[in-house]
Structure 1
Amino acid sequence: MPSNLILHRIGAKVWIGRIAVTWGLITMAMMFISSPAIFYVLRLLLGAAEAGLYPGIMYLITTWFVQKDRAKAVSFILLAGSIAFIVANPIGGALMKMDGVGGLHGWQWLFVLEGIPTVLLGILIFLVLPNSPSRARWLSDDEASELTRRAVGEEAHVERPGAIVRSAMSKPFLLTIAAIYFMNQIATYGVIFFVPSIVEAMDVTDSVMIGLISAVVGIGAVIGLLVVPRVLARNPGTEVRLIGYATAGAIVMALAFVAVDNGVAQMIILSATMLFIVGVQPLYWSTLMARLGGVAAAAGLAFVNTIGLTGGFVGPYAFGLAENATGSPSAGLWVLIAATTLGLLCVPLLKVLLATHDASHPVVDPDEDVAPVAV
């Protein structure tokens, strides 16, 4: 949350660029790991360096896109991560075979070749990214002013940022979305971290092949991100219903996974599971963005992201406990089923809370036919 408040104050050019550069430098520094203590220190620093990136980007979307385009904008951001997952698994497997090249181990090459592009991208962001729509040369003055007005939203009359933050944190619908997102991230990161183990349990031993097969679940995520936000665009106002459908779909697919005993079928089903789990994520953010503006958006989106990161920690740990208890990495799917079921139970409450909020608060950025910026 502090990272987003700093971004709101000093602008994206410096802060997002800083995040990328420090993230890349610390990633490269991990090639020098020589003890568990150094690993833990660098891993902690890496987490601190990158923690503000995702909520920062979510906040930037509220300043650059009108509400009807935000779910699609979020899906494009998440697509980058899903495509990276598809590409990184086989590339990571190949890099692990580079032992001895240049006197480095394969794992050291992995950190070096991940860190350098990140640093270069951070420098590029600092050079070309405008701090706000008002500084974008490709927008007219009227377009920039309209985007700025919408980004400030309903909180514009509140003078004290502290009051805005407290107001955002007290909104019941925000807390409910945070809880649903927490459950979603347990499932998401549990699968991401354990899919290589699931593949290996299918008697696949080659590291490159494990990476290639693991990438299949990323394909499902990509399809979900391309499809679900577009369904919302054609049916505006159906976010909560679609969240419920997608969450239920993930549960059904996970139950199908544990019911079959064929490796090929399991990977296809797991890919379909990720279609629902990842595809629904833009809807959480667009639902929040429609009801938060300015500093409230910066704080509220960062808060929900923080809760999600906690779920991202719990997920792999819970999947690991399930594997240790049963001896099978696939047992983690029961963790996924439990988490998504709890998330689904929160959806009716979310519907009621949003209806109550919307009855007394205007939507920050209602859908309109004219959009200064479109995806």
Structure 2
Amino acid sequence: MTTQSAGPAGNALHRIATHKAMLRLIPLMCAIYFMSYLDRTNVSLAKARLAADLGISAAAYGLGAGIFFIGYALLEVPSNLVAHRVGPRRWIARIAVTWGALSVSMMFVQGEWSFYTIRVLLGIAEAGLFPALMYMVTMWFAPQDRSVAVGWIYTAPALALVIGNPLGGAFMQMDGFGGLHGWQWLFLLEGLPTIFVGVFLWFKLPEKPSDARWLSVDEARALEARAVPDAVHPGMFSQDWVAALKRPATVLIGLIYFLNQVAFVGLVFFTPAMIQQMHVQSPLMIGVLSSSVGIGFLLGVLVLPRIHRRVTNDCLYLGVLTAGLVVSAILFISTSVLSMQLLLFVATAFFAGGVLPLYWAIAMKRLHGIQAAAGLAFINTLGLIGGFVGPYLFGLAESASGHSASGLSVVVGASILGLILVPLLAKAIQSEGRAASVAEPLLNIEP
């Protein structure tokens, strides 16, 4: 760190620059993540009409909804390497334009196989978006500010569910207008804006602090100086990042995240179907009531990370939140009262979505440099695979029972498994802490 960036004056300058970046950069990042979540989940509103108009069954829908995450997961790391090479601004803009065009092409789906094909291509096109955004966070923000930045970014998908479901429901009511089905208007009118946002970001998203016109030269230097300590060092070799993938704590965080995504993504994709089976017929009202999941998600990412600041035991807090998810899902299964079910949609999403920043906070504390690049990508890949498994299991559960709400049993099972893994994670973290405390004095010995 330079002399200029140290001391009280440097700290004050860095705080001002960080505040500016939060106000000017984070909204741009949220805008593209908002559109990505809108375009990957709007298919949930079209589920019933896809079945009626094209004969796509619940199991086929679940497979198509989840298969999006397979291509996404397989290309996550390669895509992020390209972002590192060409710059995140260019790559994020390319991702947005490509997936926006594919989202529009969903209006031309003719049956199950074309549905599967476009969903796979959509996942491939969007691969690398989230890690590219996280890569930008490491370029702009000091380690102590990153969890706050990530928390704000997570409000984008929550708002996409709150705003997007009623908006999508309104588009669905355009059925027959211009000779198109309502679901065709849905994909068209939500895919086109993504293309425009991608073009906008190409011109307006600054690559790094020194590219931002709204920062002074000293402010840009202050941001870059504080972000440098966690950057990848050229002297770190391949075995260093491979070692990160073998660490028990990394694997366990990834497995717990996988189980969370099985539960949460399945819930997101099947909530409109559950609402419809509660004898709600209006597409607009289905969209409005489905936003209850988004409301719970938004409350969770705004409240739970701030409570986490006051908690000293990460794993205990993680266990409490996971137990809360189990209880809320069991209560949902146990009641048939519509008002209670809507409240439990909020509660379930509060725990399932609000815990997401905690996974990254726990991981970032223990992964540094190139190990962070590899370990965080590995954890996210496991989560994406969970995003495939969840909707597929929900679809199988509905096909077997005839009721979409039976998918909540998947939430209960996945969450209980995650809860069982939390004590194992605590032990792994303790073991790594003891090993580090033994190694530290040896590293400090002068040669």
The aligned residue for residue 362 of structure 2 is 287
Tell me if the contact between 1:182 and 1:307 (Cα under 8 Å) persists in the aligned partners: yes
Query: Which of 141, 146, 166 is equivalent to 2:225?
Result: 146
1:123-202 equivalent positions in 2, closer than 5 A: 123-137=199-213, 138=215, 140=219, 142-152=221-231, 156=233, 158-160=235-237, 162-202=238-278
- Deviation track 1:152-174 (CA, whole Å, cap 9, x = no partner) reads 1xx526344x3343132222211
CA contact (8 A) 1:59 1:297 kept: no
The answer on 1:239 being equivalent to 2:314 is yes
Equivalent of residue 404 in structure 2, options 324, 329, 333: 329
Cα pair 2:142 2:223 within 8 Å, conserved: no
Counterparts of 1:218 and 1:52, CA distance in 2: 23
Deviation at 1:134, TM superposition (A): 4.6
Cα distance in 2 between the residues matched to 1:293 and 1:271: 35
1:317 matched residue in structure 2: 392
Between 1:212-221 and 1:99-108, the stretch displaced more is 99-108
Shift of 1:287: 1.7
SS at match of 1:290: helix
Kindly indicate whether the alpha-carbon contact (under 8 Å) linking 2:171 and 2:183 is maintained by their aligned counterparts in 1: yes
Counterpart-to-counterpart distance in 1, 2:255 and 2:98: 30
Two-structure CA RMSD over aligned residues (Å): 2.1
Separation in 1, partners of 2:219, 2:254: 36
1:53 matches 2:129: yes
Question: Quick one: which amino acid aligns to residue 348 of structure 1?
Answer: P
| 1:297 counterpart residue number | 372
Letter in 2 for 1:317: Y
Q: Tell which deviates more after alignment, 335-344 or 115-124.
A: 115-124
Q: What's the CA shift for 1:105? A: 2.9
> Structure 2 CA distance, aligned partners of 1:31 and 1:320?
22
What is the aligned counterpart of 1:212 among 288, 292, 311? Answer: 288
Equivalent in 310, 333, 345 of residue 258 of structure 1:
333
**SS of 1:234 mapped into structure 2:** coil
The letter of the residue matching 1:158 is: G
Matched, 1:86 2:162: yes
Note if contact 2:99-2:125 (Cα within 8 Å) is conserved in structure 1.
yes
Match of 1:110 in 2: 186
Count residues with an aligned counterpart. Answer: 358
Aligned to 2:173: 97
Task: From the superposition, tell whether residues 191 and 282 of structure 1 become closer, same or farther in structure 2 (CA, over 3 Å).
Answer: same
Specify the code of the residue in structure 1 equivalent to 2:265.
Answer: Y
> 1:226, CA displacement in angstroms?
0.6
Question: Match of 1:8?
Answer: 84
Which has the higher Rg, Structure 1 or Structure 2? 2
By how many angstroms is 1:196 displaced?
A: 1.4
- Aligned partner of residue 366 in structure 2, secondary structure: coil
Contact 1:63 1:151 in 2 (8 A): no
Q: Is the 8 A contact 1:250 1:277 kept in 2?
A: yes
Secondary structure at the residue paired with 1:203? coil
Please state how far the C-alpha of 1:78 moved relative to its aligned partner: 1.7
2:379 & 2:156 partners in 1: Cα distance? 20
1:275 and 1:252 map into 2 onto residues whose CA distance is 12
Q: 1:70 to 1:274 in 2, by over 3 A?
A: same
Tell me by how many angstroms 1:243 deviates: 1.2
Q: Give 3-state SS (helix, strand or coil) of 1:215's partner.
A: helix
**Residue identity opposite 1:167 in structure 2:** A
Q: Are 2:196 and 1:120 equivalent residues in the alignment?
A: yes
CA gap of 1:8–1:63, structure 2 versus 1, over 3 A, is same
Deviation at 1:15, TM superposition (A): 1.2
- Cα 1:158–1:117, aligned 2, differ >3 Å: closer, same or farther? same
Deviation at 1:242, TM superposition (A): 1.8
Cα distance in 2 for residues equivalent to 1:233 and 1:13: 31
Does the C-alpha gap of structure 1 residues 238 and 134 become closer, same or farther in structure 2, counting only changes over 3 Å? farther
Alignment match, 1:276: 351
Superposed CA deviations along residues 19-73 of structure 1, whole A, max 9, x for unmatched, are 1111112212233334544433322211101121122223332332333333332
Contact conserved, 1:67 with 1:286, CA < 8 A, in 2?
no
TM-score normalised by the chain length of structure 1? 0.88
Counterparts of 2:120 and 2:394, CA distance in 1? 22
Query: Residues of 1 paired with 2:278 and 2:101: CA distance?
Result: 37
Corresponding letter in the other structure for 1:328: H
Match of 1:366 in 2: none
2:102 matched to 1:26?
yes
2:169–2:284 Cα contact (<8 Å) kept: yes
Cα gap change, 1:13 to 1:293, in 2 (>3 Å): farther
Paired AA for residue 333 in structure 2 = V
CA deviations on 1:161-206 (whole Å, 9 max, x unpaired) are x334313222221111110000000110111111112112211111
2:235 maps to a residue whose letter is: V
Displacement of 1:264 after TM fit? Answer: 0.8
Q: Distance in 2 between matches of 1:60 and 1:258?
A: 41
Cα shift at 1:361:
4.8
Residues 224 and 276, structure 1, Cα contact 8 Å, conserved in 2: yes
**Deviation string, structure 1 residues 120-174 (Cα, Å, up to 9, x no partner):** 221222222232345445262541342332231xx526344x3343132222211
The higher-RCO structure (CA 8 Å, 6+ apart) is: 1
**Are the structure 2 counterparts of residues 66 and 327 from structure 1 closer, same or farther at C-alpha, using a change threshold of 3 Å?**
same
Selected match of 2:417 from 337, 342, 355: 342
